[in-house]
A and B are shown apart, each in its own frame.
Chain A
Amino acid sequence: MARRLMLVLLLALAIPGAGLRGTLLPRQAAPPPDAAAPVDRSAPLPAARSPRNANYSIDVRLDPGARALIGHEDITWRNTSAHPTSKLCFHLYYNAWKHAQTTWMREARLRGRSRARSVRAGDWGWTSVTSVRLLRPNAEAVELADRRFASPDDGNEADETVMEVLLPDVVPPGESIRIGLDWNARIPRTFSRTGAVGSYYFLAQWFPKLAVLEDAGWNCHQFHAGTEFYADYGVYQVRMTVPSSWVVGATGLERGRTDNPDGTTTHAYHADDVHDFAWTTSPDYLVRTARFEHPTLPAVEMRLLLQPEHAGQADRHFDATRTALRFYGEWFGAYPYGHLTVVDPAWQSGAGGMEYPTLFTAGTRWLAPRDVMDPEGVTIHEAGHQFWYAMVGNNEFEDAWLDEGLNTFSTGRAIEANPAYRVNYQSSRYFGGFVPWVFRDIPVSREVDENGLSAYRASAESDAPSTPSFRYFPSTGGGLSYSKTALWLHTLERHLGWPALQRAMSAFFERWKFRHPKPQDFFDAVNESSGRDMTWFFDQVHRSSTVFDYGVQSVMSETLPPAGSRATKGSAPVKRSTVVVRRYGEAVFPVEVLVTFEGGETVREAWDGKDRWKAFTYERAMRVVSAVVDPDRVLLLDIDRTNNSFTTEPRSREAARKWMLKWMVWLQDALATSSFFI
């Protein structure tokens, strides 16, 4: 203990400016680990699912009139890193919407988010910490007055989303401290899914929250417009006081309810082994309940908080949640909490489609056609985040793809696996976005639509996914984190086979649930489970921004003159056909080439895809009529599928004529509409 203390003191003296604004404990300057055998302090506690090293007891009162929260929290925190620390690092997420010059607001404008441009004076929100105390057993609490805002990511001094608190003593590895905070917050009009509109409140990232201390130091990023969160697991005991008639839903389970003389009610919630706590309250919610049951998976009580205008859609929400719990549970591992709250957010609350531990927001519309998978798609996705995010707790600031990508892939697979969701069409909305129209000629496909191929194509070369997610160009993060990952996982599914990938994802899940995995942990799981070294693939899809694009350059046939030994009396003339395939992109993947001859005979060729081009030549009685690179569409990352095939009898003119005729009717109607003005 004394040795560790000495090391930290020496470290503090040795690093000029340590602890100043914008400076975190330098990773390279961390003292060496103990000489003793390594201890995995981030392992789950005995009889617990998680390490439970960040435990919160929070009392919070909602003042709807002032749109404010008044809170007090006690945090019991244990240092699970290998090094002592002399400071704590808190996220104050609400300060992202304190004014227009925060990092979140700057990035949101860069991203082109309209919300960042339409802020009114009353929309802003913030958190103000009024007191931070070190709570010591059998001793007076010590006010920790040495607090400052830090901006480790971009040096933006106007950003106050990270607060550092210096401690009077170091906290050695494995040791715990208790901290008491008093704070109040102005609830913003909804930004980034948290806030209020009318009497609808969705409160996420609403309390001062500890960052994660890793062996390399505090991993504490500012709040960015394109990324989400990272926190340690713990036990949350939260008592929320709201107007008495209002419905409350929250992470965890309600353990008690007390009516207060002032017309308010205090709802006491408890949640074990979670890394965040979100809650919602509104006088308007309808409450519906249902149960998920499965022969081999634990039952889950589902509680749905529904907007009255969506009363008829309760079953759609429950069925979608069941779909996620079933398939994710069968494929990856069981959902262990036994309860799950589904929140149907209010219209234009902006809170839709977001995950929190044991609670998520879905999102639907008043007019929601049955043959369009909305709200099903978003419900499955957010329920699926209970597995990829809530249980496998990756760092969403740095490796957003680990939960968003795995979950997008899993969502598409779950939709495909549920026969009830086979009827799923594309749709558009008209008249202010209120009136839906279903295109029953255009089914939603998993390969293209669920994986988000268009979004990937738009951002394919924007950043390498290994770049920390918060450093992605703000508007292209989605295309990389969600779509590219889903596409390369789906490619792996087709390349390795689903059993191999399922084993890998299941192994990754089991190994890293209630812990914080890094990208290499996933790659290791795939390599180990599949028994194949796929590093060459991960180098391309994760550590590079190169694109895959294979195609057929040409198909040529010529009739050979009947000469030499080739000529036999009465035999058909021999035709020499040459198929040239080409790698247009920089990335490499082994592909097959399907060659079809007159009469329907086919030949499959294997190509390692490494060279820039390859020619296949055939001398047969029949000429080649078509060729397709990657005919089974294994390589879903191929950014131009059209050039993958070539036929000597193209129907492009026929297709073009048909679509010209349809387009002309649209144009004539548009012209007729314009003639209103004459």
Chain B
Amino acid sequence: MATIFEAFTDGWGRVLRAPAILFGVFLVTLLLAAPAGSAIRDSISGSLGSSLDGGAMADGVDADWWARFSDAATGLDRTFTRSVIGFAAVLDNLSRFLDNEEADASLAGLTFAYLAIWLFLIGGILDRYARMRPTRSQAFFGACGTLFFRFLRLGLIAAAGYWLLFGVVHAWLFEGLYGRAIRDLTVERTAFAIRLALYGVFLALLGFWNAVMDYAKIRAVVEDRRSMLGAFLAGWRFVVGHPLKAGGLYLLNTLAFAAVVFVYFLTAPGAAGSGAAAWAAFAIGQAYVLARLAVKLAFYASGTSLFQRSLAHLAYTAAPEPIWPDSPAAEALANAAGRD
């Protein structure tokens, strides 16, 4: 148990000691959302035009205008629903995730780009957390580049597992099993309890696979594995070999995520006000997003710590420090000077 807490606190320490990573991924999230936000802003502004409804929407909510906007919405505008208000945003996204509801097609490109950026950055992030020292941008991005294609290959294995979970297991649990269990049920709370239990089962399976893939990435980085099949099997062996530690740490990180969500539940602003109030609400929202991303990074950092502790080579990485090659001109000068 002590190892779990040590890994957890150590993981958070590693995240907080590398603020550039945290703010980097936050900035990526923000910058990716900004152009889409700009498009939504233009749509809303265009719909409101010179109407007095603009004032109503600035001060609060004009439900009549919103309904009309939604009735005519296409593309990205379809996602502008009342679920964007305050904590409903979190409920909406978590609910869609757990109920496997398809995201609006207009967000597919954005989501793909976001995942691709994460896939690129994750190598450098894990390398940084494993080394527990600043690696500078050259080394960071060197690791990103070195590991990107490996993680792309690993991603195929991960995707197969997630497809199995969301495409097959989810349907089996929530359409097949749940459907049969509640078919003749007339008590809603019993049905909800069954659904909660199935959420638990699904999350456990999902968490297991997610942990395996996390440790596969961690081992690929820490042990400089080239074979991603080998990394996957190593990750699997680690999770299966240390179920209490790996599971306990995963649960602890999940609780940290729940705590972040709970704090946002308490602080999430509503729809009133514009100007400074809107920016203040945005700032609270950004603090939540930042905290949420920090939790995500803590999953990796604490996992790295746990793996390193468990294998008694804390802070050890087999990978050589990446050396960024000199420019051709510098190399030519060095050659001329007989350095080689």
Asked if A pairs with B, the answer is yes
Interface check B118, CB cutoff 8 A: yes
Interface check B275, CB cutoff 8 A: yes
How far apart sit A196 and B83, CA to CA, in the bound complex (Å)? 35
0/1 string, A457-501, CB within 8 A of B gives 1 = 110000000000000000000000000000000000000000000
Contact B52 A673 (CB under 8 A): no
How far apart sit A671 and B275, CA to CA, in the bound complex (Å)? 26
Interface check B149, CB cutoff 8 A: no
Of residues A197, A198, A200, A670, which shows the largest number of chain B Cβ atoms within 10 Å of its Cβ? A670
Contact B63 A449 (CB under 8 A): yes
A residues less than 8 Å from B191 (CB atoms) = 347-348, 434
Contact A442 B63 (CB under 8 A): yes
Give chain A nearest CB distance to B115 CB in angstroms. Answer: 6
How far apart sit A653 and B292, CA to CA, in the bound complex (Å)? 30
At the interface with chain B, which of A93-101, A144-152, A533-541, A635-643?
Answer: A635-643
Residue in B87, B192, B292 whose CB lies within 8 Å of A366: B192
- Name which residue of chain B comes closest to A199, CB basis: B186
Interface check A563, CB cutoff 8 A: no
Interface of B is mostly: helix
Residue in A426, A434, A628, A668 whose CB lies within 8 Å of B188: A434
Give chain B nearest CB distance to A55 CB in angstroms. Answer: 34
Contact A678 B118 (CB under 8 A): yes
Interface check B54, CB cutoff 8 A: yes
Contact B286 A676 (CB under 8 A): no
Give chain B nearest CB distance to A323 CB in angstroms. Answer: 23
Residue in A348, A439, A658 whose CB lies within 8 Å of B182: A348
Give chain B nearest CB distance to A233 CB in angstroms. Answer: 33
Given the interface contacts A198-B185, A430-B92, A666-B83, does A675 sit within 8 Å of B63 by beta carbon?
no
Contact B90 A669 (CB under 8 A): yes
At the interface with chain B, which of A159-167, A174-182, A644-652?
Answer: A644-652
- Name which residue of chain A comes closest to B53, CB basis: A642
Residue in A641, A661, A663, A665 whose CB lies within 8 Å of B288: A665
Give chain A nearest CB distance to B58 CB in angstroms. Answer: 4
At the interface with chain A, which of B11-19, B95-103, B242-250?
Answer: B95-103
Give chain A nearest CB distance to B182 CB in angstroms. Answer: 7
Taking CB atoms and an 8 Å cut-off, the chain B residues in 174-200 that contact chain A are 174, 182, 184-189, 191-192, 195, 199
Give chain B nearest CB distance to A428 CB in angstroms. Answer: 6
A residues less than 8 Å from B199 (CB atoms) = 431
- Name which residue of chain B comes closest to A626, CB basis: B52
Given the interface contacts A442-B61, A654-B54, does A347 sit within 8 Å of B188 by beta carbon?
yes
How far apart sit A667 and B107, CA to CA, in the bound complex (Å)? 9
0/1 string, A430-443, CB within 8 A of B gives 1 = 11101101011111
- Name which residue of chain A comes closest to B36, CB basis: A667
Interface check B42, CB cutoff 8 A: yes
A residues less than 8 Å from B64 (CB atoms) = 445, 447-448, 453, 641
Contact B54 A651 (CB under 8 A): yes
Contact A439 B85 (CB under 8 A): yes
- Name which residue of chain B comes closest to A631, CB basis: B52
B residues less than 8 Å from A659 (CB atoms) = 40-41, 44, 57, 80, 84
B residues less than 8 Å from A660 (CB atoms) = 37-38, 40-41, 44
Interface check A143, CB cutoff 8 A: no
Contact B37 A655 (CB under 8 A): no
Residue in B58, B99, B158, B192 whose CB lies within 8 Å of A658: B58
Query: Interface size class for chain A?
Result: 35 or more
B residues less than 8 Å from A644 (CB atoms) = 51
0/1 string, B289-316, CB within 8 A of A gives 1 = 1001100100000000000000000000
Given the interface contacts A432-B195, A658-B278, A663-B80, does A645 sit within 8 Å of B210 by beta carbon?
no
How far apart sit A510 and B126, CA to CA, in the bound complex (Å)? 79
Contact A441 B271 (CB under 8 A): yes
Interface check A656, CB cutoff 8 A: yes
Interface check B267, CB cutoff 8 A: no
0/1 string, B67-84, CB within 8 A of A gives 1 = 110010000000110111
B residues less than 8 Å from A447 (CB atoms) = 64
A residues less than 8 Å from B33 (CB atoms) = 664, 667-668, 671
Contact A448 B57 (CB under 8 A): no
Interface check A559, CB cutoff 8 A: no
Give chain A nearest CB distance to B22 CB in angstroms. Answer: 13
Given the interface contacts A445-B64, A670-B93, does A346 sit within 8 Å of B186 by beta carbon?
yes
Given the interface contacts A434-B192, A668-B33, A675-B114, does A663 sit within 8 Å of B49 by beta carbon?
no
- Name which residue of chain B comes closest to A120, CB basis: B183
Given the interface contacts A453-B64, A657-B41, does A645 sit within 8 Å of B51 by beta carbon?
yes
A residues less than 8 Å from B111 (CB atoms) = 670-671, 674
Give chain A nearest CB distance to B192 CB in angstroms. Answer: 5
Residue in A308, A348, A676 whose CB lies within 8 Å of B210: A676
- Name which residue of chain B comes closest to A653, CB basis: B45
How far apart sit A665 and B48, CA to CA, in the bound complex (Å)? 22
B residues less than 8 Å from A445 (CB atoms) = 63-64
Contact A668 B289 (CB under 8 A): yes
Residue in A349, A426, A678 whose CB lies within 8 Å of B186: A349
Interface check B169, CB cutoff 8 A: no
- Name which residue of chain B comes closest to A431, CB basis: B95
Residue in B95, B182, B186, B278 whose CB lies within 8 Å of A657: B278
Taking CB atoms and an 8 Å cut-off, the chain B residues in 154-188 that contact chain A are 155, 158-159, 162, 174, 182, 184-188
B residues less than 8 Å from A664 (CB atoms) = 30, 33-34, 36-37, 282, 285
Interface check A307, CB cutoff 8 A: yes
Contact A654 B50 (CB under 8 A): no
Interface check A672, CB cutoff 8 A: yes
Give chain B nearest CB distance to A416 CB in angstroms. Answer: 16
Contact A645 B34 (CB under 8 A): no
Interface check B122, CB cutoff 8 A: yes
How far apart sit A656 and B47, CA to CA, in the bound complex (Å)? 9
Interface check A228, CB cutoff 8 A: no
B residues less than 8 Å from A656 (CB atoms) = 40-42, 44-45, 48, 54
A residues less than 8 Å from B262 (CB atoms) = none
How far apart sit A646 and B292, CA to CA, in the bound complex (Å)? 42
Residue in B49, B71, B122, B292 whose CB lies within 8 Å of A652: B49
How far apart sit A677 and B271, CA to CA, in the bound complex (Å)? 31
Residue in A284, A457, A647, A661 whose CB lies within 8 Å of B281: A661
Interface check A602, CB cutoff 8 A: no
Contact B93 A669 (CB under 8 A): yes
How far apart sit A448 and B64, CA to CA, in the bound complex (Å)? 6
A residues less than 8 Å from B258 (CB atoms) = none
Interface check A309, CB cutoff 8 A: yes
Contact B272 A654 (CB under 8 A): no
B residues less than 8 Å from A670 (CB atoms) = 93, 96, 103, 107, 111
Can you list 9 A-B pairs, Cβ within 8 angstroms, ordered by A?
A437-B88, A659-B40, A660-B37, A662-B271, A666-B89, A671-B33, A672-B289, A677-B162, A678-B115
Top 4 nearest A-B pairs (CB, nearest first) are A665-B285, A346-B186, A652-B48, A652-B54
Which of A's residues lie within 8 Å of B, judged by CB? 197-200, 284, 307-309, 346-349, 365-366, 426, 428, 430-432, 434-435, 437, 439-443, 445, 447-449, 453-454, 457-458, 626, 628, 640-648, 650-678
Which of B's residues lie within 8 Å of A, judged by CB? 29-30, 32-34, 36-38, 40-42, 44-45, 47-58, 60-61, 63-65, 67-68, 71, 79-80, 82-85, 87-99, 103, 107, 110-111, 114-115, 118-119, 122, 155, 158-159, 162, 174, 182, 184-189, 191-192, 195, 199, 210, 270-275, 278-279, 281-282, 285-286, 288-289, 292-293, 296
Known pairs A668-B285, A675-B114 / 11 extra A-B pairs, C-beta < 8 Å: A307-B187, A309-B189, A431-B199, A449-B63, A647-B54, A647-B55, A650-B50, A660-B37, A661-B282, A664-B30, A673-B93
